[in-house]
Amino acid sequence: MSRCTVVILVIVSIMVVSALPAAAQQTPAGAKMMVPIGAGGTTPRTVKGQVVFTAVARGSATPGSVVFYVQDKEIGRSTASPYRVEWDSRSVPDGQYIARSAAVGEAGEQVWTGEVKIIVANTSVPAPAKPAPAPKPTLPVPKPSTPKPAGVAAPSPPKPGPAQAPAAARPPSVVAPPPSKPQPAPPPGPRPKPATPPGHAPAPVAPAADTAWETYQSKAYGFSVAHPASAKARDESASMKPKGKGAFWIAFTQKSGNKAEYAINVRHLNLMGSRTPDEYAKYNKYLLKWDRANVNGLAGFKTITGSPATKRVIHRTLLVDGSQVWMLNLTDLTGRDPAVTGKIFARVVESFKPSGAGMPPDAAPAAPPARAPAPPPAVDMGPADSPPPPAPEGGEE
């Protein structure tokens, strides 16, 4: 084989390899993408097809299970390390979402959480089609002339007129489309909501705009709070267990027929001595896992527990004001998106205003005494510092 022949073969091989389609040079289809949740970073991860979420643990606490969510919808849970769950990204439209992992302890308390932004991109964008080349004009082919028999006069030549372009060069005639039939008017009633456009995450469900609200105000208990007018108020103070000084409980229950959908609870207890939020949490360690909260100048803690899959999501806020403890929560038993009742509970908390709990209606609040360091409490702090008791009608806490 000559040297020239070898060079030609090498050049041909390079041209064949470069001509292979891009899909043949990529990773084979069907590979699963690993996405850690809670590893830090704010850059969204682009995913497609099957995805494996892995939870990155925080701290030394070992949870009983880890629940995984995509846009507040549970997609699975894992009970053993390494905590992971597989998810098909084709179950949602293309767009941006938030994936979360929540570790839950043996008693149902939240141990740690993590989240990551993802971009679902399963629909490939087709390449723009190349315009078809314009057809070349074809010249008319002259027909062969037929000889005329003798004695027949030749036809007279055509009269001169305006020159005409060849048939191939004439612009095509435009045919008007047939008139469209008038569409019938839509029936009266609410119009359907437009679907979420591709590339956008679905917006969270909000409470109905026409929901009526009213204010509950009690001079005897010393507080006011707004609540949906359809949620009926009831004094459940006699059901509090254990009972302590200044203990009372007002419940606002929203029903659908005879079934409770959610309940808003406002509870109050008096402590034996004055406490700061940190001092109260020191002897009620479940609060150390909650987030900080500040409501109208009162400091405390807040958290969300449960999941829609178990039809039990609880929004909680606990406020400590010297010798008073206020416990507000909303227990959702519907199993739907918790963002709905989350917005309701946020408005309830923002409207909450205490004005001296347990005082007679006409009594003016006395000036608070100078705060002295409280002695260390005993191991059993008594009923005043116990966690909130369960609520009626479905077991709200």
| The pLDDT of residue 356 | 61
pLDDT higher than 50, residue 272: yes
Domains and CATH numbers, the chain: 33-120 (2.60.40.10), 213-361+378-395 (3.40.1000.10)
Contact of 230 with 257, CB cutoff 8 Å: no
What confidence tens digit (pLDDT) does each residue in 215-243 have?
A: 999 988 889 999 999 998 999 888 887 67
User: What percent of the chain is helix, strand and coil (3-state, nearest 5)?
Assistant: 15, 35, 50
| The pLDDT of residue 64 | 86
| The pLDDT of residue 168 | 47
| The pLDDT of residue 284 | 87
DSSP tag of 10: H
| The pLDDT of residue 153 | 53
pLDDT higher than 50, residue 40: yes
Contacts of 100 (CB under 8 A, 6+ apart): 37, 68, 69, 70, 72, 113, 114, 115
Three-class SS of residue 44? coil
DSSP tag of 66: E
Residue 4, token pair as written in the block: 């020239």
**Mean pLDDT of the 182-202 span:** 50
pLDDT higher than 60, residue 70: yes
Contact of 329 with 302, CB cutoff 8 Å: no
Closest CA to 260 of 314, 331, 346: 331
| The pLDDT of residue 378 | 36
Average pLDDT, the chain: 72
| The pLDDT of residue 382 | 36
Closest CA to 264 of 228, 303, 318: 228
| The pLDDT of residue 159 | 60
| The pLDDT of residue 43 | 87
| The pLDDT of residue 32 | 86
pLDDT higher than 50, residue 368: no
| The pLDDT of residue 381 | 34
Neighbours of 218 (CB within 10 A): 17
| The pLDDT of residue 125 | 52
Q: What is the share, in percent, of the chain residues with pLDDT greater than 90? A: 33
CA 218 centroid distance within chain? 37
| The pLDDT of residue 239 | 81
What confidence tens digit (pLDDT) does each residue in 3-14 have?
A: 544 434 434 343
What confidence tens digit (pLDDT) does each residue in 96-120 have?
A: 999 999 998 877 788 888 899 999 9
| The pLDDT of residue 352 | 93
Contact of 209 with 190, CB cutoff 8 Å: no
Model confidence band, residue 370 (pLDDT cutoffs 50, 70, 90)? very low
- Listing DSSP states for 84-131 in one string gives EEEEEGGGS-SEEEEEEEEEE-TTS-EEEEEEEEEEE--SPPPPPPPP
Task: Name the helix (H) or strand (E) containing 345.
Answer: helix 338-351
Handedness of CA 271, 272, 274, 275 (dihedral sign): negative
**b/e sequence 359-372, b meaning 16+ C-beta within 10 Å:** beeeeeeeeeeeee
pLDDT higher than 70, residue 338: yes
pLDDT higher than 90, residue 195: no
